[in-house]
A and B are shown apart, each in its own frame.
Chain A
């Protein structure tokens, strides 16, 4: 277990008035200072201020604790922000970007225990937890060879091993007639590896869905029944429904669990050219909801098909009000359903369609490597960063530096596959090159 600064949502996942994000570790205060201003002047004091991420500035509160006087016994920070997964996700991403990593399940408690903050009776539970983690890790390890992430990681490592062994052989055997890999060769290889890494990182976003759920934007012209549809999904009257077009002026966020996946719905204001300033703001937010979504439900009631904005996301067309609108001669396309939100007809079918659309994207979802997912993303992102650095510096750096960075990238990938570099590289050196006196 490393003692890197960890971050996670401390309140339950889902919509709530306030969400608490907790960060723990030596660097947590430094990281928090980069996000939150004005930073509280003294520990244990809740301070109102602004939380800045690349996408938004959020009014929030922040409190920090200095080791050992904290839950974990380490330096810790808590952000109290508005509930809502988009906000939470963006803040966590920002913490990770500044040097934290996603906490594993129960890691805060584990640290609290190790630092003597929890009593001994908890030890058994923690051992069980590690054991469970191990089981999952072992399972994930078994899965690795069968899933795309594992296979690709192994093959990336293999390419890296080749490159590193050529470099290391030349460095450790300077008197043999070995050529150091040229800068060109290093660039080409690293670019190829990095390209695949980026591809992998895109795949892993499917994994993110498993963890955080699928973001679904409900859009359509005013009064086609978007809010009714949301209510039908939720089985409550969360959204205000009325016959007056433009009732929903803000976006509403709601989540519902479907099978093993969470659906995060965003009900948007009807999209039209609003002359009302408040409604215009609602529409701007709706457009943002679409941009942030994984999937768009395009709701229509047959009166007009026209949507005058861009949807470059996977999209399901929802023909609503099937109880009162006769869709004469309508041939349903593959990604289309007929429902009645009011009468709760076709809703299950729609849910299944949404689920299939993502489950089909990759085996990641079914393999259930949710637990290690945060770690995987973390590793891949870090490896990507190191490779980017190599590309930026390879024309000016000396070979010892490049070798160190290459090895760092290998080690990071090794955290996914559970392998260590040393022997793999040394084996490759001696099998590939004829060396020695």
Chain B
């Protein structure tokens, strides 16, 4: 039997990050995929990033992960969403070539010395008496690993549905992993059934772009990864069109054929990713719905029809698509479909994504009830890092709600029970003003370096940015005479002060940007655009950021109060019954996490504080 340090089951976005992180940290890693053509496959839209997700991609990069680099290599378009609405919600979003993304990611795995990429369906997972795990594939090969990362994603016992037709397969007809659920159940995990969907892919030559508005990429945008020198942000465009009244009529007339409504689909679908039939039925007063056409790749004629996912019968799908402006004569190349799959309740995991019950067994990605490539990759990275730390007896690596979106994500799914696929939103991050895409590197590079995933080149880039930033901050104290600022203030329409102002005070004026200050005042001369932006945000948002930092310090105090792992919550006087049960089931790491469990009240937290004080030094 072949032995590895770590076995990763699944080579999607979670699996790839896990395997690469562990291998780069020196572990021997086996990564299994049911089909090697699914490595890093973008099964749904050909896009990476977006609100909250763009932030995650940048965090992955800062920690030394892969997704940002591969996305940059496979880029078709880059845009900044929410521009003008405030830096806390600026979100980079890329269109990527899904074929290139797959090829680049596969190539990266293949080039990693400690990593073995192997096609094979994992059919059985067993925990051995010595704490290691044995994974058996469908062809009868068995592998032993000291730790296992389960990252089977949407392939776990999945079923694709198009009208009355349904087939047991992963996305896009790829083979699924239908036997592994039994092992997961046998180990004692609650298995749930979730659902998602994807739209049809259409042939570009049959699309009438004249009826749509073009959405170009932005050439000025920077790459996701600090290691990427240059990107072409406007290689390909997307196109916006709308459904018509006929679309609605067709859907309502055929409602009884929709598996979503006639009971053929049982899985719980996400509210944020509804099919077109779901949108029309639930929001019947809405006149029309947006549809985006996104290129699937540079060397293909297929376009992704965002906004029109469906599980209607194929012929109805055609009617629906033909009712959309500009798609009157469109030729569907692949059908839209809904997909159901198995996943677990991630409250069984701790903050490192390791099972609380089985040491060395990690879960990452869609199997944890999340959705989205970025959410999966972020988890994969954390699981991979911690799998390495587990087998080498190092302290766990935990991201928190204060330092990253990935931390928010993991805390949410391991603390609160989610009843639908979990999508990251900026609104879920209570410290959104601090967790920005522009400072992901400043927040996390040091951590990535300590872990060992951030190489010299990336670390030196970080250090010089920090240096530059210090240099810029020092200049904020410089005093500018009224004469020197006159032109700038005239240009910006700001009223002139009587006496001189510091650069800091000048920057606090509403219409003054750091870029303009540089131009007119001759300050910040050596600073890059990135650092200028950073300084500007720091100055203009200082009051709010300080307020948020204060809140963070407050909540950190609760996070610092660790709860002993072996507390029997049922025996703590004063806790309400529901709190006892929830706490015993979820077993939070610290008081902060305990307080976020639904059903645990502030009074319960107080009881726990007293309990901790009572047992100081005893546990």
Contacting residues of chain B (569-619) with chain A, CB-CB under 8 angstroms: 573-574, 576, 601-603, 605-607, 609-610, 613-614, 616
In angstroms, Cα B50 to Cα A1, docked, is 37
Given the interface pairs A3-B557, A130-B574, the reply to whether A425 lies near B433 with Cβ below 8 Å is: no
A2 touches B425 (CB 8 A): no
Given the interface pairs A171-B51, A173-B51, A401-B86, the reply to whether A422 lies near B428 with Cβ below 8 Å is: yes
In angstroms, Cα B289 to Cα A175, docked, is 12
Number of interface residues of B (CB under 8 A): 57
A123 touches B614 (CB 8 A): yes
B613 touches A114 (CB 8 A): yes
Given the interface pairs A174-B81, A177-B290, the reply to whether A437 lies near B541 with Cβ below 8 Å is: no
A116 touches B616 (CB 8 A): yes
Nearest Cβ distance between residue B514 and chain A, in whole angstroms?
A: 16
Given the interface pairs A1-B602, A176-B290, the reply to whether A400 lies near B433 with Cβ below 8 Å is: yes
Which residue in B45, B82, B84, B609 is a CB contact (below 8 Å) of A114? B609
Asked whether any CB of chain B lies closer than 8 Å to the CB of A18, the reply is no
Q: Looking at the complex, which of B259-267, B271-279, B458-466, B527-535 is the stretch in contact with chain A?
A: B271-279
Q: Choose among B86, B289, B541, B573 the residue with the greatest number of A CB atoms under 10 Å from its CB.
A: B86
**Identity of the chain B residue whose Cβ is nearest the Cβ of A180 in the assembled complex:** B85
A133 touches B52 (CB 8 A): no
**Identity of the chain B residue whose Cβ is nearest the Cβ of A169 in the assembled complex:** B427
Contacting residues of chain A (407-437) with chain B, CB-CB under 8 angstroms: 407, 418, 422, 425-426, 429-430, 434-437
**Identity of the chain A residue whose Cβ is nearest the Cβ of B596 in the assembled complex:** A420
Enumerate chain A residues within 8 angstroms of B86, measured Cβ to Cβ.
398-401
Contacting residues of chain A (384-403) with chain B, CB-CB under 8 angstroms: 396, 398-401, 403
A172 touches B605 (CB 8 A): no
Which residue in A137, A404, A407, A437 is a CB contact (below 8 Å) of B306? A437
Enumerate chain B residues within 8 angstroms of A172, measured Cβ to Cβ.
51-52, 425-427
Given the interface pairs A114-B609, A130-B603, the reply to whether A171 lies near B426 with Cβ below 8 Å is: yes
Which residue in A123, A401, A425 is a CB contact (below 8 Å) of B541? A401
B85 touches A120 (CB 8 A): no
In angstroms, Cα B88 to Cα A404, docked, is 10
A127 touches B307 (CB 8 A): no
**Identity of the chain A residue whose Cβ is nearest the Cβ of B81 in the assembled complex:** A174
Q: Choose among B87, B279, B605, B614 the residue with the greatest number of A CB atoms under 10 Å from its CB.
A: B614
Residue-wise interface mask of A (154-182) relative to B, using a CB-CB cutoff of 8 A (1 in contact, 0 not)? 00000000000000100111111100100
Count of inter-chain pairs, beta carbons less than 8 A: 129
Residue-wise interface mask of A (2-24) relative to B, using a CB-CB cutoff of 8 A (1 in contact, 0 not)? 11000000000000000000000
A426 touches B81 (CB 8 A): no
Enumerate chain A residues within 8 angstroms of B483, measured Cβ to Cβ.
none
Contacting residues of chain B (532-565) with chain A, CB-CB under 8 angstroms: 541, 544, 548, 554, 557
In angstroms, Cα B241 to Cα A177, docked, is 11
In angstroms, Cα B595 to Cα A175, docked, is 34
Asked whether any CB of chain A lies closer than 8 Å to the CB of B247, the reply is no
A435 touches B272 (CB 8 A): yes
Enumerate chain A residues within 8 angstroms of B574, measured Cβ to Cβ.
127, 130-131, 134
Q: Choose among B52, B557, B605, B606 the residue with the greatest number of A CB atoms under 10 Å from its CB.
A: B606
Nearest Cβ distance between residue A126 and chain B, in whole angstroms?
A: 6
Nearest Cβ distance between residue B527 and chain A, in whole angstroms?
A: 22
In angstroms, Cα B595 to Cα A418, docked, is 12
Enumerate chain A residues within 8 angstroms of B272, measured Cβ to Cβ.
430, 435-436
**Identity of the chain A residue whose Cβ is nearest the Cβ of B614 in the assembled complex:** A123
B510 touches A396 (CB 8 A): yes
Nearest Cβ distance between residue A158 and chain B, in whole angstroms?
A: 18
B45 touches A437 (CB 8 A): yes
In angstroms, Cα B592 to Cα A2, docked, is 11
Given the interface pairs A1-B606, A418-B601, A425-B427, the reply to whether A400 lies near B273 with Cβ below 8 Å is: no
B433 touches A2 (CB 8 A): no
Asked whether any CB of chain A lies closer than 8 Å to the CB of B162, the reply is no
A400 touches B274 (CB 8 A): no
Asked whether any CB of chain A lies closer than 8 Å to the CB of B392, the reply is no
Enumerate chain A residues within 8 angstroms of B230, measured Cβ to Cβ.
none
Nearest Cβ distance between residue A221 and chain B, in whole angstroms?
A: 54
Asked whether any CB of chain B lies closer than 8 Å to the CB of A113, the reply is yes
Nearest Cβ distance between residue A28 and chain B, in whole angstroms?
A: 16
Nearest Cβ distance between residue B612 and chain A, in whole angstroms?
A: 8
Nearest Cβ distance between residue B196 and chain A, in whole angstroms?
A: 10
Enumerate chain B residues within 8 angstroms of A425, measured Cβ to Cβ.
427
**Which of under 10, 10 to 19, 20 to 34, or 35 or more describes the interface residues of A?**
35 or more
Enumerate chain B residues within 8 angstroms of A110, measured Cβ to Cβ.
606, 610
A137 touches B603 (CB 8 A): yes
In angstroms, Cα B89 to Cα A401, docked, is 10
In angstroms, Cα B206 to Cα A356, docked, is 81
In angstroms, Cα B608 to Cα A126, docked, is 12
**Identity of the chain A residue whose Cβ is nearest the Cβ of B613 in the assembled complex:** A114
Nearest Cβ distance between residue A331 and chain B, in whole angstroms?
A: 55
Q: Choose among A116, A175, A176 the residue with the greatest number of B CB atoms under 10 Å from its CB.
A: A175
Asked whether any CB of chain A lies closer than 8 Å to the CB of B286, the reply is yes
A400 touches B428 (CB 8 A): no
Nearest Cβ distance between residue B445 and chain A, in whole angstroms?
A: 24
Nearest Cβ distance between residue B285 and chain A, in whole angstroms?
A: 10
Nearest Cβ distance between residue A161 and chain B, in whole angstroms?
A: 12
Q: Choose among A137, A422, A434 the residue with the greatest number of B CB atoms under 10 Å from its CB.
A: A434
A399 touches B89 (CB 8 A): yes
Nearest Cβ distance between residue A262 and chain B, in whole angstroms?
A: 28
Q: Choose among A133, A396, A426, A437 the residue with the greatest number of B CB atoms under 10 Å from its CB.
A: A437
Enumerate chain B residues within 8 angstroms of A130, measured Cβ to Cβ.
574, 603, 606-607, 610
Q: Choose among A116, A120, A174, A407 the residue with the greatest number of B CB atoms under 10 Å from its CB.
A: A174
Enumerate chain B residues within 8 angstroms of A177, measured Cβ to Cβ.
290
A175 touches B292 (CB 8 A): yes
Given the interface pairs A120-B614, A130-B574, the reply to whether A404 lies near B432 with Cβ below 8 Å is: yes
Which residue in A401, A403, A429, A436 is a CB contact (below 8 Å) of B274? A436
Given the interface pairs A400-B85, A426-B427, the reply to whether A436 lies near B548 with Cβ below 8 Å is: no
Enumerate chain A residues within 8 angstroms of B91, measured Cβ to Cβ.
174
In angstroms, Cα B426 to Cα A425, docked, is 13
**Identity of the chain A residue whose Cβ is nearest the Cβ of B305 in the assembled complex:** A437
A426 touches B425 (CB 8 A): yes
B283 touches A434 (CB 8 A): yes
In angstroms, Cα B50 to Cα A172, docked, is 9
In angstroms, Cα B576 to Cα A134, docked, is 10
B554 touches A3 (CB 8 A): yes
In angstroms, Cα B206 to Cα A3, docked, is 65
Asked whether any CB of chain A lies closer than 8 Å to the CB of B282, the reply is yes
Contacting residues of chain A (106-120) with chain B, CB-CB under 8 angstroms: 110, 113-114, 116, 120
Asked whether any CB of chain A lies closer than 8 Å to the CB of B38, the reply is no
Asked whether any CB of chain A lies closer than 8 Å to the CB of B157, the reply is no
In angstroms, Cα B574 to Cα A131, docked, is 6
**Identity of the chain B residue whose Cβ is nearest the Cβ of A133 in the assembled complex:** B603
Asked whether any CB of chain A lies closer than 8 Å to the CB of B379, the reply is no
A434 touches B609 (CB 8 A): no
Asked whether any CB of chain A lies closer than 8 Å to the CB of B366, the reply is no
Nearest Cβ distance between residue A79 and chain B, in whole angstroms?
A: 25
Contacting residues of chain A (34-70) with chain B, CB-CB under 8 angstroms: none
Asked whether any CB of chain A lies closer than 8 Å to the CB of B176, the reply is no
A113 touches B613 (CB 8 A): yes
9 examples of A-B residue contacts, CB within 8 angstroms? A1-B605, A174-B82, A175-B290, A176-B290, A177-B290, A404-B548, A429-B427, A434-B274, A434-B282
Q: Which residues of B contact A (CB under 8 A)?
A: 44-45, 50-52, 81-82, 84-89, 91, 199, 270-274, 279, 282-283, 286, 289-290, 292, 306-307, 309, 425-428, 430, 432-433, 510, 541, 544, 548, 554, 557, 573-574, 576, 601-603, 605-607, 609-610, 613-614, 616
**What 4 A-B pairs are tightest by C-beta distance, nearest first?**
A400-B86, A398-B86, A400-B88, A430-B271
Q: Which residues of A contact B (CB under 8 A)?
A: 1-3, 110, 113-114, 116, 120, 123, 126-127, 130-131, 133-134, 137, 168, 171-177, 180, 396, 398-401, 403-404, 407, 418, 422, 425-426, 429-430, 434-437
In the complex, besides A134-B603, A398-B85, A426-B425, 9 extra interface pairs with C-beta distance below 8 angstroms are A1-B605, A3-B557, A127-B573, A127-B610, A171-B427, A173-B51, A175-B290, A429-B427, A437-B306
